[in-house]
Amino acid sequence: MRYAPIAAGVGAGSVIFLAWRGVDVLPILFFAGLVAVLAYYGNTRLGGGKPSFAVMGGDGGRQPAVVFDDIGGQEVAKNELREALEFIRDLDGIRRLGIRPLKGILLAGPPGTGKTLLAKAAARFTDSAFVAASGSEFVEMYVGVGAQRIRQLFKQARSLARKQGKASAIVFIDEIEVLGGKRGQNAGHLEYDQTLNELLVQMDGLATDDEVRVLLIAATNRADMLDPALLRPGRFDRQVQVDLPDKTGRLQILGLHARNKPLAADVDLATVAADTFGFSGAHLESLVNEAAIAALRDGAQEISACHLKGAIDKVILGEKLDRLPGAEEKRRIAVHEAGHAIAGEVRRPGSVASVNVAARGKALGYVRQTQADDLYLHTADQLKDKIVVALAGAVAEDIVLGGRSTGAGNDFQQAAALARQLVLGGMSELGIVSAEDLPQGTLHMAVASLLQGLEAETHALLAARRDALERAVAALLASEGMSGDEFRALLNAPAH
């Protein structure tokens, strides 16, 4: 680029000379302008003169502040990742034992589980330079641009490591399925395949005797979409599963996010952890933050248990709406939710955490349930209990109001999905079946038979507790909501 001013001067002089000789220079000027625009665009897109990929830290790419101790709920993933990173920390040891260094580590798991944080902590753990990119940064409409940006990414990582005086660099690519998808899927756009091919070439070129050792860490929540060439040994040698945290992990994450926040004496984070099954680390961070916002809104000096309970509902369903249904519709909502709550408490005692008839998000009312332990396998009885709870809202409407409403549509979908799971799991009257070989008509009949039988059970369960159902409806209409303990006290109160 240092000869660009000379070339520009020679070109301008030539155009002036040709114009003086009477030559029409407009086509030449048009062509020169087009070349200049394309050159400027290409230079900008390829990051000419400036780093085009993110480096960690606003201080010129120094060490990320995140360490493994700052990441909760992922002990298995952290241990596996630490082991994989030892080849960067102990180069003499791997040479002595003849170990081939790892080329890449794939972090796979649901969104919000801490994959990016793990990659940043890996850079701190190995004292490496850190360069980050997302898969979408390599997808271009112009042929060759994506491959060029792959080369630039690795070149920038090595350059940054030399500048910082480090012997290793970590390249992190988030959402790698965008550029690493199975080849042949985009027949009309071979740019995807060229970009992936260049990534494979760069990974094959990583060696222990490089001046700067480079490790590629990638993250995805769709590992099934990746090309097999990426996943073979010698490319992504390790696949670290970063799953949703269990109850112990959730408690650890809550403790990390609450350590700089004043908690009231009535707060029990273990109870909050038990109430948040299925939450990711990102959900839990949002929960604690929303509880702090609620405390600020109330003018409180500390975050209390009621703020955390409200934050759980908000994270799951959204903010309360100012939607005001009519008296008749509100009674129907109360009947529906009371039916869910009674069935849930009867089939799984202690499971109801709260009952509400205030609209949140798309829900006009809701019952939040909890469980004593995280469950990863379900028996037939447990699935049937869930179906009964799902059907109880519509059945309660039948018993009290003499008919159903469209509000039970999602409940029926959930019940049908659970019944299908029962059948395909070999827990129905059909016995062991093959999902691929089972005729759709037979599957439909088996699912319908299960739902009809459980609907009859649900009707008998609620009809026998008609008085409790009416009391729950009256309480919900009066207060719009109650806690699980309040609901259980009402349910167990003697009938008048």
| DSSP characters over 124-190 | HHHT-EEEEEEGGGG--SSTTHHHHHHHHHHHHHHHHHHHHT-SEEEEEEESGGGTSBPTTS-TT-T
Q: How many domains does the chain have?
A: 4
Kindly indicate the confidence band of residue 208, based on its pLDDT and cuts at 50, 70 and 90.
low
CATH number for the domain harbouring residue 196: 3.40.50.300
Alpha-carbon span 7 to 2, nearest angstrom: 10
Annotated catalytic residue: which of 80, 337, 397, 455? Answer: 337
Note whether 37 and 67 are same-domain residues: no
Is the pLDDT at 143 greater than 80? The verdict is no
Note whether 196 and 271 are same-domain residues: no
Is the pLDDT at 226 greater than 50? The verdict is yes
Alpha-carbon span 373 to 246, nearest angstrom: 9
* Token digits of residue 300: 């409180």
Q: Is 11 helix (H, G, I), strand (E, B) or coil?
A: helix
Note whether 81 and 148 are same-domain residues: yes
CA-closest candidate to residue 51, choices 122, 170, 162, 155:
155
Note whether 135 and 183 are same-domain residues: yes
Q: Is 488 helix (H, G, I), strand (E, B) or coil?
A: helix
Note whether 198 and 295 are same-domain residues: no
Note whether 142 and 265 are same-domain residues: no
492 near 468, Cβ under 8 Å? no
Across 119-123, 368-372, 477-481, least confident range: 368-372
Q: Is 237 helix (H, G, I), strand (E, B) or coil?
A: strand
Note whether 293 and 371 are same-domain residues: no
Is the pLDDT at 289 greater than 60? The verdict is yes
Residues 187-203 have a mean pLDDT of 72
374 near 489, Cβ under 8 Å? no
Final residue of a structural domain among 268, 290, 317:
317
With respect to residue 322, please indicate whether it lies within any of the assigned structural domains: no
Final residue of a structural domain among 317, 339, 373:
317
The label of the residue with tokens 């596996």 reads: 80
Average pLDDT taken over every residue of the chain: 82
Per residue in 235-256, pLDDT tens? 888 888 999 898 889 999 999 9
CATH number for the domain harbouring residue 294: 1.10.8.60
What is the residue-wise DSSP string for 393-428? HHHHHHHHHSS--GGGHHHHHHHHHHHHHHHHTT-S
- Would you state the pLDDT for residue 2? 47
Q: Angle of helix 484-492 relative to helix 466-479, nearest 10 degrees?
A: 140
Higher pLDDT, 458 or 191: 458
With respect to residue 483, please indicate whether it lies within any of the assigned structural domains: yes
- Would you state the pLDDT for residue 24? 67
Range of the domain at 36: 4-45
With respect to residue 61, please indicate whether it lies within any of the assigned structural domains: yes
Is the pLDDT at 284 greater than 90? The verdict is yes
Note whether 293 and 347 are same-domain residues: no
Note whether 164 and 233 are same-domain residues: yes
Across 118-122, 165-169, 318-322, 434-438, least confident range: 318-322
With respect to residue 395, please indicate whether it lies within any of the assigned structural domains: yes
Alpha-carbon span 235 to 199, nearest angstrom: 10
With respect to residue 9, please indicate whether it lies within any of the assigned structural domains: yes
391 near 381, Cβ under 8 Å? no
With respect to residue 201, please indicate whether it lies within any of the assigned structural domains: yes
| Four-point Cα dihedral 257, 58, 39, 195, nearest 10 | -40
- Would you state the pLDDT for residue 39? 57
Alpha-carbon span 42 to 172, nearest angstrom: 24
Alpha-carbon span 460 to 438, nearest angstrom: 32
407 near 366, Cβ under 8 Å? no
Per residue in 42-74, pLDDT tens? 554 444 444 455 555 434 444 557 888 888 888
Highest mean pLDDT among 75-84, 382-391, 433-442: 382-391
To the query of whether residue 337 is one of the catalytic residues in this protein, the response is yes
Kindly indicate the confidence band of residue 127, based on its pLDDT and cuts at 50, 70 and 90.
confident
CATH number for the domain harbouring residue 388: 1.20.58.760
Highest mean pLDDT among 272-281, 331-340, 477-486: 331-340
Alpha-carbon span 173 to 182, nearest angstrom: 17
Residues 466-493 have a mean pLDDT of 87
With respect to residue 66, please indicate whether it lies within any of the assigned structural domains: yes
Task: Give me the percent of the chain exceeding a pLDDT of 70.
Answer: 80
Is the pLDDT at 3 greater than 70? The verdict is no
- Would you state the pLDDT for residue 277? 84
- Would you state the pLDDT for residue 59? 42
With respect to residue 172, please indicate whether it lies within any of the assigned structural domains: yes
Instruction: Count CB-CB contacts under 10 A for residue 385.
Output: 20
Task: State the DSSP code for 47.
Answer: T
- Would you state the pLDDT for residue 362? 73
Note whether 217 and 76 are same-domain residues: yes
Alpha-carbon span 398 to 391, nearest angstrom: 11
410: Cβ–Cβ under 8 A, 6 or more apart, which residues?
none
Alpha-carbon span 166 to 129, nearest angstrom: 7
Note whether 283 and 359 are same-domain residues: no
Alpha-carbon span 181 to 229, nearest angstrom: 10
Final residue of a structural domain among 189, 213, 241:
241
Note whether 338 and 237 are same-domain residues: no
pTM score, whole prediction:
0.74
133 near 53, Cβ under 8 Å? yes
- Would you state the pLDDT for residue 36? 62
